[in-house]
Amino acid sequence: ATSASLGHTPPPTPTAIMLLVDGEPVPCSSPEGSSGRELVAALMGNPGLRAASERLRAAPERTVPSGPEGPRHVYVFQREYATVDPARVELVGTDEMTTCVGVAIRNNKTGMTSISHMDFPKIVEGGFKQMLELLGDDDEPFDVGLFSRISPSKYAISS
């Protein structure tokens, strides 16, 4: 497993990202870019993502034992990320997501997974870049998950 802190990297040059959900572009996700609020609003309005979010929220909490019976587990603290190889690590996770955002990115071909616990907007872009560099080929499809306890109404955009 590779683990690092997200707080000590100079800010990278912004780049545009096309975001796809179930193979379809997110409406405000274009090569020209969009504001973070617009992107969050578009993601929160996606029926597939909302349904997946509700299924995750309804799932019971799972307690993971510590000690010798769980040696292949990696815990990510606030302002950290870890990139793990599934052949070496069975479970990677984080918790205590009160005002933070967690991101999980998985390479579909290799199974390599990167998870982060981000708490400041200025480190999010640098964190994504660091995570993606360790996951392999840019041409491979990734599964991406965002999780937080932040209320969706906080990011509502009024017309």
Q: What is the pLDDT of residues 96-138, one digit of tens each?
A: 877 788 888 888 888 888 888 887 766 676 777 777 777 776 6
Q: Per-residue confidence at 10, pLDDT binned at 50, 70, 90?
A: very low
Residue that wins the pLDDT comparison between 125 and 144: 144
CA distance linking residue 64 with residue 92, whole number of Å: 11
What average pLDDT does the structure give for the chain?
72
b/e sequence 128-149, b meaning 16+ C-beta within 10 Å: bebbbebbeeeeeebeeeebee
Q: What is the pLDDT of residues 40-89, one digit of tens each?
A: 677 777 788 788 778 877 888 777 666 666 568 888 888 888 888 988 88
Closest residue by Cα to residue 125 from 33, 11, 36, 16: 11
pTM of the model: 0.60
Which of 7, 45, 134, 3 has its CA nearest to residue 53? 45
Note the pLDDT of residue 11: 46
**pLDDT-derived band at 146, boundaries 50, 70, 90:** confident
- pLDDT level of residue 144 (50, 70, 90 thresholds): confident
Which two tokens mark 129? 């870049």
Query: Which structural domain, as residue segments, surrounds residue 12?
Result: 2-62+69-155
> Residue 150 in contact with residue 110, Cβ under 8 Å?
no
Domain total for the chain?
Answer: 1
How many Cβ atoms from other residues are within 10 Å of residue 43's Cβ? 20
- Closest by CA position to 78, among listed 124, 104, 117: 117
